[in-house]
Chain A
Amino acid sequence: MSELTKLTLTDALDGLGKGEFSSVELTQAFVDTIEASNDALNAYVVKTPDQALAMAKESDARRAAGNAGRLDGAPLGVKDLYCTKGVRTTACSNILGEFTPTYESTVTQNLWDEGAVMLGKLNMDEFAMGSSNETSRFGPPSNPWRRGGSNATLTAGGSSGGSATAVASDLCLAATASDTGGSIRQPAAFTGTVGIKPTYGRASRYGMVAFASSLDQAGPIAKTVSDAALLTEIMCSHDAKDSTSLNVETPNWLADVGKGVKGMKIGVPKEYRVDGMPQEIEDLWQTGIKWLKSMGAEIVDVSLPHTKYALPAYYIVAPAEASSNLARYDGMRYGARVDGNDLTGTYEGTRAGGFGAEVQRRLMIGTYVLSSGYYDAYYLRAQKVRTRILQDFETVFADVDALLTPTCPSAAFAYGEKTDDPVQMYLNDIFTVTANLAGLPGISVPAGVDNDGLPLGLQVIGKALDEATCFQVAGALEEAAGFVAKPDKWW
């Protein structure tokens, strides 16, 4: 039965459709695997086996009645950032206490409307702030991948570390994640999975705990490009409840995956070659270029001159928005509260006690950059940089169909390796934040392993609303890479 958990989402749906197994059987397999493995992996922070099996039962009934949805019976994990009705949602922060929403996020509702089954809530960095999942109130998940010959526990990346861990270790068919500066793509790269951040506004933010409103975007982490395409298609929708949601049709991306790259022009931005980047990453990038060429794409060297300002701009804009977005966690209406002697004391106790160190650091940075006298020098300037970065992309996209870059400047690192130096940690986002700042789609595909046998990812950045090309290129890379490596089961 445990073999069922190794299926891809599309294969599992195929099997369900053909009646090879029921959703209850499939779901039970996951429930059992989670029960056996989660203590070691710490991917789930809330497990909902009863709800999962009830949903699976309903799914089987629907399928029997011929009313199956596009994800009917597929057990999925949900990042703890998504509000789920009746299921504790804390964004892995102490400040939300035992908060249990009375409402469902639009993205997860879209999944349930297509018949998907919820296995539970997945670990993440507190309020999605982090690149290693170490800021979670529940402790970090463990990357199923380890360096050859080492027992050191590695990070699964962040902030969607729980989603990446769960997918890579077969604790769900696929998972929702979210990406503010790379939080889908970096964990995907660190775990040999596929992750896509769609165009800003493709998926509704309604019911997603906000980190940085102008950057946050929902997306999936999945085992294959096809799985990712299918899930993205269903997660995305226009939503009147989110003013920044785009009123556009969601295309059939699954159909794009196998179309190939023949005749495409793929840009390779020189600014993504950074000092101190391991040779293996550079080599993988060149390999990716070679694959695309051999499949009929034309490779063009391009320049995105403002790339070097992206990370500093990101670490101004994101904390600024967060400092305001997280002001609602004041202990007054929900979540944890620490009573003080007076109102100020209550605020201080609640927020100092409820927020972890990294969140506090970002709230302070954000408050600072928005302060009177500093606003122009920091926030306004960062917004100008953001415009320039978008213009850079628009310029090169006049010539090329998509861009190919490494997803991250390194493979997964061990816990503690970068925690002491926040700047080292922030540098992890260097190749991913640009797509968030410009609102563009970016997908990470596993393309090889490093000398330690750890997975590495390549990133495809597309034009706004052109996820189709991202899926096409990613599909081609997936095919060329033939990435089938799986972590040795140690848990």
Chain B
Amino acid sequence: MSERPTYTLKGDTGDWEIVLGLEVHAQVSSNAKLFSGASTTFGAEPNQNVSLVDAAMPGMLPVINKFCVEQAVRTGLGLNAQINKVSRFDRKNYFYPDLPQGYQISQFEHPIVGEGVIEVDVEPSHGDPAYAFPVRIERLHLEQDAGKSIHDMDPTATYVDLNRSGVALMEIVSKPDIRTPLEAAAYVKKLKAIVVALGTCDGDMEKGNLRADVNVSVCKPGAYEKFRETGDFGHLGTRCEIKNMNSFRFIQAAIEFEAQRQIEIIEGGGTVDQETRLYDPDKGETRSMRSKEDAHDYRYFPDPDLLPLEIDDAFIEGIRVNLPELPDQKRARFESEYGLSRYDAGVLTADAESADFYETVAKGRDPKLAANWVSQELFGYLNKAELDLSQTPVSAVQLGGLIDLIRDEVISGKIAKDVFQRMIDGEGDPADIVEKHGLKQVTDTGAIEAIIDEVIAANPEQAAAVKEKPKSMGWFVGQVMKASSGKANPQAVNKILREKLGL
């Protein structure tokens, strides 16, 4: 793995660096809400998944959903984090129509999961090679989601849908260990891969089931290192929090814009105000949502309706022994079992779907060849076409079939790319395509000899010259392949040419 590159932004007064810390909200995969038995099914009619507790009717009380606690512990274990055997729920008080209780039940002082660390893989970008870096997790806590306010259904009224009210969220807070927009996206990707592998969150960012708040600040080179030595945030710049981003692209774009904005303010002699900002993807900019002065006084205090949450070692161990294979473990296995490079293994284990796809293709086949076809050819195509793996036009079985045709020398690697393109175009199974278009490799030496004889006869001067300059035999190979429409077995062509040309 390569060294972690330094990311600098050029300002009028010199170089700047950025410092990022993320708060990721992941909706807990659970059939019922955090403190009520109401369903969490997505897409229900408005206000259908609402219990008396969720609607904060008089005299209603919260009761913790044990499964959500298990999910939080499972996630904590996946983050290599400390599990706190005693944690506590606090009330975060504020008024809003989509917050029926007038407070959100959250964990302020004593979260269920404490410090942890994960390894984040960054893809190659702008000439920088791939690398990995650690991100320290500060905490993970459980909290309730709010309902949804709908402002655009009526010009004068706001409608409220409480289906989400009370749904369990995990807030995962990182330390300020992230230094580039790409790293921020890579960190969220890694978290997503972990929670999806664990089955603790479906990772569906479009539905808002995984979303990130990014704290952005800028500083001069050297300041961050001082901060890491001393732990003194005074070495860092004032941070702004960009709320609620649910796409990797937006996360990167928002950070790039926000860092530039802050640099311009500072270089213009101003100071950055600590505030909450929103990213507007249409305009590609962040705008102020509320300043520190407008910040609510949430009046946190321990929720007297709930006892401290106590779990024991047996509970934690019961979850630990049933943990599935995590992305990092899977990557290590891909490296050792399939002999892949760390980078290739990382790409193929970035999510469970990719890993499963690869393992289907690789089964009983050359693992490196399989890795090339999956990560280079297929993923390359999907990226360009902006498609998810779930939308792939080529199934793992079909891709495996293509590799079998290469192995069995039915087609050459070159023809295989042609067949692959036809598979993408929806022509079906590779064997059928080869059959239909007559792409089968010509291995009959008699037929190849005949073509070679023709080519040599047609080019006597080159045939004479090649004896002086053996390297130019490639030209003859090209001519022969062309004459055979690419179907001649390249090894056979080489061998026979060499004999005929007397090399």
Contact = CB atoms under 8 A, between A and B. Distances in A.
B155 to A, nearest CB: 14
Contacts of A489: none
Given A324-B91, A327-B102, A371-B299, A83 B59 contact: yes
Interface string A61-100: 0000000000000000000001100000101000010010
A361 interface: no
A60 interface: no
A206 B59 contact: yes
Interface in B77-118: 91, 93, 95, 97, 100-103
Contacts of B307: 243-244
Nearest to A105: B59
B305 interface: yes
Contacts of A429: none
Contacts of A375: 299-301
B304 interface: yes
A370 B97 contact: no
Contacts of A96: 58
Contacts of B382: none
B62 A243 contact: yes
A370 B93 contact: yes
Given A324-B299, A347-B95, A333 B59 contact: no
Contacts of A134: none
Nearest to A380: B301
A334 B64 contact: no
Interface in B288-313: 297, 299-301, 304-307
B160 interface: yes
Contacts of A1: none
B55 A324 contact: no
A491 B56 CA distance: 41
Nearest to B63: A243
B465 interface: no
B301 A324 contact: yes
Nearest to A242: B61
Interface string A240-262: 11111000000000000000000
Interface string B305-328: 111000000000000000000000
Nearest to A239: B61
Interface string A91-116: 10000100101110100000000000
Contacts of B306: 243-244
B62 A328 contact: no
A209 B64 CA distance: 20
Contacts, number: 96
Contacts of A398: none
B295 to A, nearest CB: 10
Give the most central of B52, B103, B297, B305: most A CB within 10 Å.
B305
A105 B58 CA distance: 10
A370 B306 CA distance: 18
Nearest to B35: A243
Contacts of A242: 61, 63
Interface of B is mostly: loop
Contact of A370 (B59, B101, B301, B305): B301
A286 interface: no
A343 interface: yes
A443 interface: no
Contact of B305 (A99, A243, A371, A379): A243
Contacts of B60: 206-207
Contact of B102 (A102, A206, A320, A330): A330
B58 A324 contact: no
Nearest to B301: A370
B61 A205 contact: yes
A interface majority secondary structure: loop
B160 A332 contact: yes
B21 to A, nearest CB: 22
Contacts of A227: none
Contacts of B299: 323-324, 367, 370-372, 375
Nearest to B98: A332
B100 A328 contact: yes
B57 interface: yes
Interface string B146-160: 000000000000101
B304 A321 contact: yes
A212 interface: yes
A436 to B, nearest CB: 12
A103 B102 contact: no
B281 to A, nearest CB: 27
A360 interface: no
Given A243-B62, A243-B306, A328 B301 contact: no
**Which of A89, A242, A333: most chain B CB closer than 10 A?**
A333
Nearest to A210: B59
B95 A330 contact: yes
B58 A214 contact: no
Given A370-B93, A370-B301, A379-B301, A209 B100 contact: no
A213 interface: yes
Contacts of B64: 243
Given A240-B63, A243-B63, A327-B93, A333 B304 contact: no
A213 B305 contact: yes
Contact of A99 (B58, B62, B101, B102): B58
Contacts of A379: 301
A244 B305 CA distance: 7
8 contacts: A89-B58, A91-B58, A212-B304, A242-B61, A243-B61, A243-B62, A244-B304, A372-B297
Given A212-B304, A372-B297, 14 more contacts: A82-B59, A103-B52, A103-B57, A205-B61, A210-B59, A243-B64, A244-B304, A244-B306, A321-B304, A327-B95, A327-B101, A333-B100, A343-B97, A371-B299
The list of the 5 closest CB pairs from A to B, nearest first, reads A327-B102, A213-B304, A370-B299, A214-B304, A328-B56
Interface of B: 52, 55-64, 91, 93, 95, 97, 100-103, 158, 160, 297, 299-301, 304-307
